[in-house]
Amino acid sequence: MFMSRRSFTLLGAATVASQLAHSQTIYPTRPIKLLVGFAAGGPLDVYTRILAQDISLQLGQPVTVDNRAGASGQIATDMVAQAEADGYTLMSTASTFIVNPILSKRTKPDPLKDFVAISHTAVLPTIVIVGPDSTAQTIQDLVKAARSRPLSYASAGNGGPAHLAGALLAHNTGTTMTHIPFRGAAPALTEVMAGRVDFTFYTMSGLKELVAAKKVRPLAITAVSRHPEFPQVPTMTEAGFPGFDDVGAWFGIVGPAGMPSAVVTQLNTAIDRALKKPEVRDRLIGLGMVPVGGPPTVFKNFLERDSVRWTALIKAADIREE
């Protein structure tokens, strides 16, 4: 049968389109690697494994968690930026994803240009806490004290959520608050409980037991609403200090730039379904986290706002990399 050149071209284009459509519908065909830039056992790692298990069941392929600790998550970030944009190498990341490049003045990889936002999965609010012997009963008391004398605040390291939250509080209230970084949250907490450091912004993980034992006193939470484990603790906004609604640690899934939109959508849908399951939500809430979810565009906008906010604060407060 005779076929014109135009018909042959159209048939070829239709075949390629069909193959592409088919390849998208059968994703994934092999295991997906989900990199974590921190050691096993931490909040980011634990939550990632919970999420990976459910996503794996939905997609019918193993989703393996690969810990590549080092340089505050930068080793994993570099690896994912250089990976094939086929949806088989992803990263479960946190707040440092945006903050690290700002602190180090590093231009590559660019978290906004060299990655695709897939899902804003959860936030881990922080609570302003003081030691049991502190005279501050409220966050207003703490700020009032800072107006008469310099206060000190502890963090688990330079550029982390507690450091930036404390710097933001000092900046917004026009007070002097000295940052004292420690190598991890545990020693920072110990110094606050002993009264050698005035306060810290501490994550929700394990805090309920400390409050019940009256080893620390919670003053306010950096979240949009009060947390069910601490209904008596007001949000920073309720206490009269707006701008802290999403200052705590956040978590999300990203991939290398250039991933097919259909794959991004499929992954986002699977993650959203997981976050809506009671068994997954309960486990995350038990870790002190608040599940988020939502479309990739919302996460992308969040990352852009986060970058603008911390760039301005780091410059204004002259925060530098250790």
Identify whether the C-beta of residue 1 lies closer than 8 Å to the C-beta of residue 30: no
Backbone angles phi, psi at 199, to 5 degrees: -165, 175
**Domains in the chain, start-ordered, CATH in brackets?**
31-124+248-316 (3.40.190.150), 126-221 (3.40.190.10)
Position of tokens 């939109």? 261
Identify whether the C-beta of residue 44 lies closer than 8 Å to the C-beta of residue 99: no
Q: Is the pLDDT assigned to residue 268 strictly greater than 80?
A: yes
What confidence tens digit (pLDDT) does each residue in 49-97 have?
999 999 999 999 999 999 998 888 899 999 999 999 999 999 999 988 9
Position of tokens 């976050």? 275
Q: Is the pLDDT assigned to residue 133 strictly greater than 80?
A: yes
Give the pLDDT score at 16: 40
How many CB atoms are located within 10 Å of the residue 308 CB?
11
- How is residue 71 written in tokens? 């340089």
Q: Give Cα 271 to chain centroid, integer Å.
A: 15
Backbone angles phi, psi at 219, to 5 degrees: -115, -40
DSSP string, 232-253: TSPBTTTTT--S-TT-SEEEEE
- How is residue 88 written in tokens? 């088989």
Q: How far apart are CA 93 and CA 250, in angstroms?
A: 8
Q: How far apart are CA 113 and CA 110, in angstroms?
A: 5
Strands 151-155 and 199-203, how do they pair? parallel
What confidence tens digit (pLDDT) does each residue in 2-54 have?
445 444 444 444 444 444 444 445 899 999 999 999 889 888 999 999 999 99
What confidence tens digit (pLDDT) does each residue in 99-129 have?
989 988 887 899 999 999 999 999 988 999 9
